[in-house]
Amino acid sequence: MGSNPALGTEQPWFKFVFTIRKRNRCYYWWKPRILLNLFQKILLPRRASVAVAQNQATVNILNGISSLEAGLGWGCMPVDTGQLKERMKEVSDAKLEVIRLTSKPYELLNMEEKFAIRYHIIVLAEAVGSICLHIAAEDLDLKPQSYSECFKIMEERKICVNCAKDLTSIIRLRNLLTHQYWKIEDRQVYDSVKDDFKSVDKFLQSVKQRYAASL
Protein backbone atom coordinates (compact mmCIF):
# COMPACT_ATOMS: atom_id res chain seq x y z
CA MET A 1 0.00 0.00 0.00
CA GLY A 2 1.62 3.26 -1.14
CA SER A 3 1.88 6.52 0.74
CA ASN A 4 0.12 9.69 -0.30
CA PRO A 5 2.48 12.71 0.02
CA ALA A 6 -0.48 15.06 0.40
CA LEU A 7 -1.60 13.24 3.51
CA GLY A 8 1.79 12.40 4.88
CA THR A 9 0.54 8.95 5.83
CA GLU A 10 -0.87 5.83 4.29
CA GLN A 11 -4.36 6.33 2.95
CA PRO A 12 -6.92 4.02 4.60
CA TRP A 13 -8.66 1.40 2.50
CA PHE A 14 -11.52 -0.88 3.37
CA LYS A 15 -11.44 -4.45 2.17
CA PHE A 16 -14.17 -6.15 4.12
CA VAL A 17 -17.68 -5.19 5.14
CA PHE A 18 -19.60 -7.83 7.03
CA THR A 19 -23.37 -7.72 7.05
CA ILE A 20 -26.01 -9.81 8.70
CA ARG A 21 -29.64 -9.80 7.71
CA LYS A 22 -32.66 -10.14 9.96
CA ARG A 23 -35.98 -10.46 8.19
CA ASN A 24 -36.20 -7.62 5.66
CA ARG A 25 -33.75 -5.28 7.39
CA CYS A 26 -29.99 -5.45 7.31
CA TYR A 27 -27.80 -4.60 10.24
CA TYR A 28 -24.22 -3.54 9.64
CA TRP A 29 -21.83 -5.51 11.78
CA TRP A 30 -18.89 -3.36 10.74
CA LYS A 31 -20.11 -0.27 8.91
CA PRO A 32 -17.50 1.37 6.70
CA ARG A 33 -18.26 4.75 8.24
CA ILE A 34 -17.46 3.40 11.71
CA LEU A 35 -14.09 2.19 10.43
CA LEU A 36 -13.53 5.56 8.79
CA ASN A 37 -14.24 7.29 12.09
CA LEU A 38 -11.61 5.14 13.80
CA PHE A 39 -9.07 6.04 11.13
CA GLN A 40 -9.86 9.72 11.51
CA LYS A 41 -9.52 9.76 15.29
CA ILE A 42 -6.65 7.31 15.78
CA LEU A 43 -4.56 6.66 12.70
CA LEU A 44 -4.64 9.87 10.69
CA PRO A 45 -2.17 12.49 11.98
CA ARG A 46 -3.74 15.53 13.63
CA ARG A 47 -1.51 18.15 12.12
CA ALA A 48 -2.89 21.46 10.92
CA SER A 49 -0.70 21.32 7.81
CA VAL A 50 -2.58 18.32 6.45
CA ALA A 51 -6.07 19.16 7.77
CA VAL A 52 -7.41 20.30 4.40
CA ALA A 53 -6.05 17.26 2.63
CA GLN A 54 -7.52 14.98 5.28
CA ASN A 55 -10.95 16.56 4.94
CA GLN A 56 -10.86 16.11 1.19
CA ALA A 57 -9.75 12.52 1.61
CA THR A 58 -12.65 11.94 3.99
CA VAL A 59 -15.11 13.29 1.44
CA ASN A 60 -13.63 11.07 -1.26
CA ILE A 61 -13.79 8.00 0.95
CA LEU A 62 -17.41 8.67 1.99
CA ASN A 63 -18.42 9.12 -1.63
CA GLY A 64 -16.70 5.87 -2.49
CA ILE A 65 -18.47 4.06 0.35
CA SER A 66 -21.87 5.38 -0.74
CA SER A 67 -21.22 4.21 -4.29
CA LEU A 68 -20.08 0.81 -3.03
CA GLU A 69 -23.19 0.36 -0.88
CA ALA A 70 -25.49 1.42 -3.70
CA GLY A 71 -23.76 -0.79 -6.25
CA LEU A 72 -23.86 -3.87 -4.05
CA GLY A 73 -27.42 -3.27 -2.85
CA TRP A 74 -26.43 -2.87 0.77
CA GLY A 75 -28.65 0.15 1.40
CA CYS A 76 -31.19 -0.54 4.16
CA MET A 77 -34.68 0.68 4.88
CA PRO A 78 -34.87 2.41 8.27
CA VAL A 79 -37.87 0.28 9.32
CA ASP A 80 -38.72 -3.38 9.66
CA THR A 81 -40.78 -3.79 6.51
CA GLY A 82 -41.84 -7.28 7.52
CA GLN A 83 -43.43 -5.92 10.68
CA LEU A 84 -45.09 -3.09 8.76
CA LYS A 85 -46.59 -5.53 6.27
CA GLU A 86 -47.99 -7.71 9.06
CA ARG A 87 -49.57 -4.75 10.90
CA MET A 88 -50.95 -3.29 7.67
CA LYS A 89 -52.57 -6.63 6.81
CA GLU A 90 -54.13 -6.75 10.28
CA VAL A 91 -55.54 -3.26 9.73
CA SER A 92 -56.96 -4.17 6.33
CA ASP A 93 -58.48 -7.46 7.52
CA ALA A 94 -60.06 -5.86 10.60
CA LYS A 95 -61.41 -2.96 8.56
CA LEU A 96 -63.04 -5.30 6.04
CA GLU A 97 -64.69 -7.27 8.83
CA VAL A 98 -66.08 -4.13 10.49
CA ILE A 99 -67.38 -2.88 7.13
CA ARG A 100 -68.98 -6.25 6.45
CA LEU A 101 -70.67 -6.39 9.85
CA THR A 102 -71.86 -2.79 9.84
CA SER A 103 -73.31 -3.20 6.35
CA LYS A 104 -76.22 -4.91 8.08
CA PRO A 105 -78.87 -2.81 9.85
CA TYR A 106 -78.08 -2.58 13.54
CA GLU A 107 -81.39 -4.22 14.46
CA LEU A 108 -80.39 -7.38 12.60
CA LEU A 109 -77.08 -7.87 14.36
CA ASN A 110 -76.89 -10.69 16.87
CA MET A 111 -74.82 -10.58 20.05
CA GLU A 112 -71.84 -12.40 18.51
CA GLU A 113 -71.68 -9.90 15.65
CA LYS A 114 -71.80 -6.96 18.05
CA PHE A 115 -68.91 -8.42 20.02
CA ALA A 116 -67.06 -9.09 16.76
CA ILE A 117 -67.32 -5.40 15.81
CA ARG A 118 -65.78 -4.44 19.14
CA TYR A 119 -62.98 -6.98 18.76
CA HIS A 120 -62.02 -5.91 15.24
CA ILE A 121 -62.00 -2.24 16.21
CA ILE A 122 -59.51 -3.04 18.98
CA VAL A 123 -57.32 -5.04 16.57
CA LEU A 124 -57.42 -2.26 13.96
CA ALA A 125 -56.56 0.47 16.48
CA GLU A 126 -53.70 -1.54 18.00
CA ALA A 127 -52.22 -2.27 14.57
CA VAL A 128 -52.43 1.36 13.41
CA GLY A 129 -50.84 2.53 16.66
CA SER A 130 -48.10 -0.08 16.35
CA ILE A 131 -47.25 1.10 12.82
CA CYS A 132 -47.04 4.68 14.04
CA LEU A 133 -44.79 3.88 17.01
CA HIS A 134 -42.50 1.73 14.87
CA ILE A 135 -41.99 4.48 12.29
CA ALA A 136 -41.41 7.07 15.02
CA ALA A 137 -38.79 4.92 16.76
CA GLU A 138 -36.97 3.36 13.82
CA ASP A 139 -37.18 6.04 11.14
CA LEU A 140 -37.52 9.30 13.10
CA ASP A 141 -35.57 8.23 16.20
CA LEU A 142 -38.35 9.49 18.46
CA LYS A 143 -40.13 7.91 21.42
CA PRO A 144 -43.68 9.26 21.72
CA GLN A 145 -45.36 8.52 25.03
CA SER A 146 -48.79 7.80 23.56
CA TYR A 147 -50.54 6.92 20.32
CA SER A 148 -52.06 10.41 20.11
CA GLU A 149 -48.63 12.01 20.44
CA CYS A 150 -47.34 9.65 17.76
CA PHE A 151 -50.09 10.62 15.30
CA LYS A 152 -49.29 14.30 15.87
CA ILE A 153 -45.67 13.56 14.99
CA MET A 154 -46.81 11.86 11.77
CA GLU A 155 -48.67 15.05 10.84
CA GLU A 156 -45.75 17.31 11.74
CA ARG A 157 -43.39 15.21 9.61
CA LYS A 158 -45.91 15.19 6.72
CA ILE A 159 -46.11 11.40 6.79
CA CYS A 160 -49.87 11.66 7.12
CA VAL A 161 -51.67 14.96 6.56
CA ASN A 162 -54.80 15.82 8.57
CA CYS A 163 -55.23 12.35 10.00
CA ALA A 164 -54.13 12.73 13.64
CA LYS A 165 -57.54 13.79 14.96
CA ASP A 166 -59.48 10.91 13.41
CA LEU A 167 -56.85 8.29 14.25
CA THR A 168 -56.76 9.52 17.84
CA SER A 169 -60.55 9.12 18.00
CA ILE A 170 -60.20 5.49 16.95
CA ILE A 171 -57.60 4.95 19.68
CA ARG A 172 -59.90 6.54 22.26
CA LEU A 173 -62.71 4.23 21.19
CA ARG A 174 -60.31 1.32 21.54
CA ASN A 175 -59.42 2.48 25.06
CA LEU A 176 -63.09 2.57 26.04
CA LEU A 177 -63.74 -0.87 24.59
CA THR A 178 -60.70 -2.30 26.37
CA HIS A 179 -60.80 -0.63 29.76
CA GLN A 180 -64.32 0.75 30.22
CA TYR A 181 -66.41 -1.44 27.94
CA TRP A 182 -69.45 -1.20 30.23
CA LYS A 183 -69.72 2.55 29.62
CA ILE A 184 -70.34 2.36 25.86
CA GLU A 185 -73.38 0.97 24.09
CA ASP A 186 -73.12 -1.27 21.06
CA ARG A 187 -75.26 1.18 19.11
CA GLN A 188 -72.70 3.92 19.77
CA VAL A 189 -69.92 1.68 18.53
CA TYR A 190 -71.89 0.81 15.41
CA ASP A 191 -72.66 4.44 14.56
CA SER A 192 -69.14 5.71 15.27
CA VAL A 193 -67.29 3.36 12.93
CA LYS A 194 -69.77 2.71 10.12
CA ASP A 195 -67.92 3.41 6.86
CA ASP A 196 -65.58 5.80 8.67
CA PHE A 197 -62.09 4.62 7.75
CA LYS A 198 -60.90 7.40 5.44
CA SER A 199 -58.19 8.50 7.87
CA VAL A 200 -56.99 4.91 8.28
CA ASP A 201 -56.82 4.44 4.51
CA LYS A 202 -54.96 7.75 4.15
CA PHE A 203 -52.43 6.74 6.80
CA LEU A 204 -51.76 3.34 5.24
CA GLN A 205 -51.39 4.90 1.80
CA SER A 206 -48.88 7.41 3.14
CA VAL A 207 -46.86 4.62 4.75
CA LYS A 208 -46.86 2.64 1.49
CA GLN A 209 -45.67 5.66 -0.46
CA ARG A 210 -42.91 6.48 2.03
CA TYR A 211 -41.51 2.95 2.00
CA ALA A 212 -42.59 2.01 -1.52
CA ALA A 213 -39.19 0.42 -2.28
CA SER A 214 -39.87 -2.37 0.21
CA LEU A 215 -43.65 -2.46 0.56
- Assess whether 102 and 192 both reside in one domain: yes
Q: At 170, is the pLDDT very low, low, confident or very high (cuts 50, 70, 90)?
A: very high
Q: Which residues pair with 19 in a beta bridge?
A: 28
Segment 178-186 shows an average pLDDT of 88
Residue 163 lies in a domain: yes
Strand intervals (E) in 61-120: none
**Would you say residue 43 has pLDDT above 90?**
no
Rounded to whole angstroms, the Cα distance separating 184 from 195 reads: 19
CATH number at residue 108: 1.20.120.580
Find the domain containing 31 and state its range: 3-72
Residue 215 lies in a domain: no
Rounded to whole angstroms, the Cα distance separating 192 from 169 reads: 10
**Would you say residue 44 has pLDDT above 70?**
no
Instruction: Read off the pLDDT of residues 108-163 as tens digits, 9 standing for 90 and up.
Output: 999 999 999 999 999 999 999 999 999 999 999 999 999 999 999 999 998 888 88
- Assess whether 116 and 153 both reside in one domain: yes
Task: Report helix, strand or coil for 112.
Answer: helix
Rounded alpha-carbon distances, angstroms, from residue 18 to 28, 75, 157, 204: 7, 13, 33, 34
The closest of 76, 22, 187, 196 to 125, measured between CA atoms, is 196
Looking at residue 12, the DSSP 8-state letter turns out to be P
Q: At 63, is the pLDDT very low, low, confident or very high (cuts 50, 70, 90)?
A: low
Q: Which residues pair with 26 in a beta bridge?
A: 21
Residue where one domain finishes, among candidates 72, 98, 133 = 72
The CB density around residue 40, as the number of other CB atoms within 10 Å, is 16
Task: Report helix, strand or coil for 75.
Answer: coil
- Distance, CA of 122 to chain centre: 21
Residue where one domain finishes, among candidates 21, 54, 72 = 72
User: How many domains does one find in the chain?
Assistant: 2
- Assess whether 37 and 94 both reside in one domain: no
Q: Is 52 exposed, middle or buried (0-12, 13-18, 19+ CB in 10 A)?
A: exposed
The kind and range of the H/E element at 206 are helix 198-210
Task: Report helix, strand or coil for 3.
Answer: strand
Dump the DSSP string for 1-59. --EETTTTEEPP------EEEETTEEEESS-HHHHHHHIIIIIS---GGGHHHHHHHHH
Residue where one domain finishes, among candidates 72, 107, 130 = 72
More confident position, 120 or 74: 120
- Distance, CA of 164 to chain centre: 16
**Using only C-alpha atoms, what is the Rg of the chain?**
25
- Assess whether 115 and 205 both reside in one domain: yes
- Assess whether 133 and 114 both reside in one domain: yes
